[in-house]
Structure 1
């Protein structure tokens, strides 16, 4: 097994055990969106897409929202924690230093973007949140909290990608109506 297969298998094995039921779907869906936004995405960007939220799947290492005053601080800590976990996995799989450095940087910046590739990851992750996670989030949280999280993510996207979110179809009629209302 080569280093890339090793990394991908370890990521998948960890995320499959996540207590958050949509995490395995979101991981693969983020990769799908990365490839839609950048069909020639390199190995680093693809690995980062699969593992960007890995820390959520490890209860004893998960960053907790209540430990942070600001939501953005929490998301930054979450991103850094996932990057550190992926670095450990890549070391176990004997990945090159170049690959480890790039994946670490991409995942550490997946909430805010910055570089061209980090922007692609941020946008793919955000679209995937709306595509996969939002219906689950809505079921677990209040309408007000769902609205806050929706708007936080929606505002991160460029206008042309906001249109993708506006066209997503939700099976939950109440959620679909709320999304239409929030977008206006």
Structure 2
């Protein structure tokens, strides 16, 4: 049975997207930041809760938005930047560049590469449409997955600063979601609730 050109393109497209997803997961599984694999998948889960009809660009962006943290010799360092916001912008751009390389290696079409690059390079700051959904999914996942790990590695003051930085990026309806999260560490839970109540 001979396949139409459209059917063949569908299989080529799926193979290239699978290649991208598997490559992203392969890098992230090796991250020295222990929560990175869980955060990547959790961000994708939150993205799909917020936008069930998300396209492939958004799904790839959600899975790979922090990929640069998993590649030690390429990741950006906070100490090299004048502010936390500058650092996060550099982190987003670096992750976008790495994803662009992966997608080219997987023979992804240019339009999809450009879409993912744009989404990931702006995922910390937001913008219009899909970028806002990606930023919000990432921010919710920080509270859902990353925050307990962050608290263990950092001081209370640093955890508070990072917590409020992420919280203030969220719209009011999603702020209500994250304040309801429960943590095993009840000290962290009470601190988070106090910090956001005062913000």
TM-score bracket, shorter-length normalisation: over 0.9
Distance 2:38 2:74 in 1: 21
Distance 1:85 1:169 in 2: 34
Which residue in the other structure is 1:29 paired with? 42
Which residue in the other structure is 1:11 paired with? 24
Which residue in the other structure is 1:148 paired with? 161
Which residue in the other structure is 2:124 paired with? 111
Give runs of aligned pairs for residues 1-184 of structure 1, distance below 5 A. Answer: 2-184=15-197
CA apart distance, 1:57: 0.1
Distance 1:116 1:168 in 2: 26
CA apart distance, 1:175: 0.1
Any stretches of 5+ residues in structure 1 without a counterpart?
Answer: none
Distance 2:89 2:193 in 1: 29
What secondary structure, in the 3-state scheme, does the structure 2 residue paired with 1:60 have?
A: coil
Any stretches of 5+ residues in structure 2 without a counterpart?
Answer: 1-13
What secondary structure, in the 3-state scheme, does the structure 2 residue paired with 1:59 have?
A: coil
| Largest Rg, 1 or 2 | 2
Residue-by-residue CA offset, 1:45-68 (whole Å, 9 max, x unaligned): 000000000000000000000001
- Taking structure 2 as the reference length, the TM-score comes to 0.92
CA apart distance, 1:69: 1.2
Distance 1:175 1:125 in 2: 20
User: How many residues of Structure 1 are paired with residues of Structure 2 in the alignment?
Assistant: 184
Distance 1:69 1:130 in 2: 25
What secondary structure, in the 3-state scheme, does the structure 2 residue paired with 1:39 have?
A: coil
Distance 2:175 2:66 in 1: 22
Residue-by-residue CA offset, 1:126-170 (whole Å, 9 max, x unaligned): 000000000000000000000000000000000000000011111
What secondary structure, in the 3-state scheme, does the structure 2 residue paired with 1:135 have?
A: helix
CA apart distance, 1:183: 1.3
CA apart distance, 1:30: 0.2
Distance 2:168 2:178 in 1: 11
RMSD of Structure 2 on Structure 1 (CA): 0.6
